[in-house]
Structure formats: structure tokens, C-alpha cells
Amino acid sequence: MTEKKIRVVHYLNQFFGNIGGEDKAGQPPISKDGAVGPAMGLQQAMGDKGEVVGTVICGDNYFNENTAEAKKQILELIRKYSPDVVVAGPAFNAGRYGMACGETGKAVVQGLGIPVVSGMYNENPGVDASKLAVYIVPTADSAADMRNALPKMAALALKLGRGEDLGTPQEEGYIPQGRRVTVFSDRIGSTRAVEMLMKRFNGEPFETELPMPEFDRVEPAPPVKDMTKANIALVCTGGIMPAGNPDRIESASATKYGRYSIAGLDDFLPEDYETIHGGYDPVYANQDPDRILPLDVLRDMQKEGIIGKVHDYFYTTVGTGTSVANSMRFGQEIGKQLKEEGVDAVILTST
């Protein structure tokens, strides 16, 4: 008897769906029969065990700016294909794409009762937002890992599509979801606990049976006592740079930041400043960089005596795809410099 092919729908953003780049990030959801872009690689990985019956494509900006409506439209497009499983991405470390894959996945699981597989870098914000509902295969931080990610996603999708019970995250290759499940062992709990304790005493590796969540807690700084005397600095993750990007800071997945003088400057003029950020439409930011980094407003506040002064330097980088590790390093280095320079507070803007 011939095994039934698993029906798969693949969700992609505008770039991987071959619609266009950032200029098409506002694309509303559409569907195309069969496999498009990475869905072709997924199809190849599944072989004759599964079939990509449709590809649903949505622009990252459209999804994140119209989330409720986008999810409703996407569910209707997916529903018509009657899939056994849905695959979203992989999104690697692209934050907007990861959130779109995660939110779409949750909507499919909750609204259609269909399992969903995605692929993301472990620092993608989409992981924490959706891992309880979506099975997420860990990937590298860029699309260079596509060839490795798709076969793993395909294997997981086929199992879920067939309704098979999955093993542990370590066995199946997906990011732990924080669920506690009952398993049977041939050794009682006290024996296993003592074995783990002895391994810890001896400096040997061991794996706990009850991993605890880790939270990054940052105590808020005390409020500024007198804003009329405060030295306020501007810091930006929206990519506002002097024209030409003199330090060649990356437009995504940044590994560095810039420090630039604004002493005597009242306004960011479009002929002198621009955004290099690769994660949003740059048109409006380039027309008036103060829309991202509000120097003009702060100068007005300084003249009116609302704040003491604007710090003579601003710091800038890009947030899209930038790793948590680099972000923490930027923050620690920038914070140290600002403290040494007598800054009292920071206006941190994004996009």
C-alpha cells in the first residue's frame, strides 16, 4: 500500500517568496500553488513522502503593522489547501520575519489545529514569542544555513504531519518548549539525583531533568533629579549615520557602532545624514533623519530650559539581526563612555 503524501503549506516573507526586497515589505498576503523559493528546497528534502501544495507569502512590514488582519488573511489562504502541517521560514536571525513566522504559526495551531514547524536562530525574538506552540529548529544567524536548516525542518514536519509522537527536543532537534512531561526510567529518582550530584562534585558534565528558565533582569536607574540641569545623550538603533557611513557599519547583524559629534548642530539635515538600517523602508528617515533621532526637538527643549544640555556626541548602530551578545557589548561600552562623560540620561530611539 502506497504511503499517503503529507500535504504541506510553506509560509515565506516577500524576499524568500521572490516578490521583492524591502521595497515590497508592505505586500499583503498572497498564495501560490506549489513550491516557491525555499519551499523548493523543502520539497526536495521531503522527497516523495510529502508535497508542498501551496506557498503563502506576506511582506514583513505588512504583517507586523497589520498583525490581526494579516493572520486572518493568512489562515484563509492556508485553509484552502487542507494541509497536514505548515512550515514557516526559516527566519534565521531576522526579527520581523521571525515574529511573522511565530505569530502565523501560533494562529495556525490555535485556529486550524494544524502543527507548525519553523526555523530560527536562538536569539530571534520570534523564538520566545512562539516556541510554546510552534516547533522551532535552531539555525545559524543567516540564510547561509538554509541547506542545513531545511532538511531538519522537513524531517520534523513529516513526523508531525503523520501524527507521530515526538521524542525530546534533544532527540528530535527542536528548541525546548519549557514543557514538563512524564517519562519512565529504570532507575528511581533518588539514584538519578545522586548520580547528577556526584558528577557535579567531580566537575563532569551532566544534564538536569528540570532545567530552570533564565531571566535577564536589569534594575531601572533612579529618576533624574533635575532635568533642567541634566546632560541628555542620544543613542539610536535605527541606523542614522553621517552620509556615506564613514565607519562602514553593517546594515544588519551589526558588529560595531558609531560615535559622532553633534556639538553646535541643531538639526539632522538629509544631505548630511542618512539611515543605513536594512530592516525598514528608509525613505521617510532619509527625508528627515530627526524622525528617527530627534535632535531638533531636544535642541528646542534645551533652549526652553526644559533640559540642561544635549550631549556633544550621539551613538548609533542598527538593531535588525544584531545578536544579543553584540547588543549587550554595545550597551556596556556605550554606557561606560557616557558615564565617564557626565551624561545623566539617554534618549534611546529605534525605528
User: What CATH number should be reported for the domain holding residue 50?
Assistant: 3.40.50.280
Q: Is 195 within a domain?
A: no
Final residue of a structural domain among 128, 148, 172: 172
User: Do 158 and 40 share a domain, yes or no?
Assistant: yes
268-321 residue pLDDT tens? 999 999 999 987 889 999 999 999 999 999 999 999 999 999 999 999 999 877
Final residue of a structural domain among 147, 172, 197: 172
CA angle 9, 15, 20 (to 5 degrees): 120
Band of pLDDT at residue 111, cut at 50, 70 and 90: very high
User: Do 27 and 113 share a domain, yes or no?
Assistant: yes
Question: How many domains are there within the chain?
Answer: 2
Round to the nearest angstrom and report the end-to-end CA distance of the chain. Answer: 56
| DSSP 8-state assignment for residue 138 | E
Domain region containing 68? 6-172
- Across the range 335-347, mean pLDDT stands at 95
Q: Is the pLDDT of residue 2 over 60?
A: no
Q: Is the pLDDT of residue 216 over 80?
A: no
User: Do 232 and 165 share a domain, yes or no?
Assistant: no
User: Do 243 and 119 share a domain, yes or no?
Assistant: no
Q: Is 188 within a domain?
A: no
Q: Is 180 within a domain?
A: no
Q: Taking the CA of residue 82 as centre, how many other CA atoms within 13 Å lie in the half-sphere pointing to its CB?
A: 1
299 SS3 class: helix
User: Do 21 and 135 share a domain, yes or no?
Assistant: yes
User: Do 159 and 234 share a domain, yes or no?
Assistant: no
Q: Is 213 within a domain?
A: no
Q: Is 217 within a domain?
A: no
The residue ranges of DSSP E strands in the chain, in sequence order, are: 6-13, 30-33, 50-58, 85-92, 116-120, 135-138, 231-236, 240-242, 258-261, 273-275, 309-316, 345-349
Q: pTM value?
A: 0.66
User: Do 168 and 36 share a domain, yes or no?
Assistant: yes
Q: Is 331 within a domain?
A: yes
184-212 residue pLDDT tens? 888 898 999 999 999 999 999 988 887 77
Query: Which pLDDT belongs to residue 181?
Result: 73
Report how far apart, in Å, the C-alpha atoms of 303 and of each of 106, 284, 307 are.
Answer: 50, 27, 8
User: Do 138 and 233 share a domain, yes or no?
Assistant: no
The answer to whether the Cα torsion of 34, 37, 41, 44 is positive or negative is positive
User: Do 168 and 54 share a domain, yes or no?
Assistant: yes
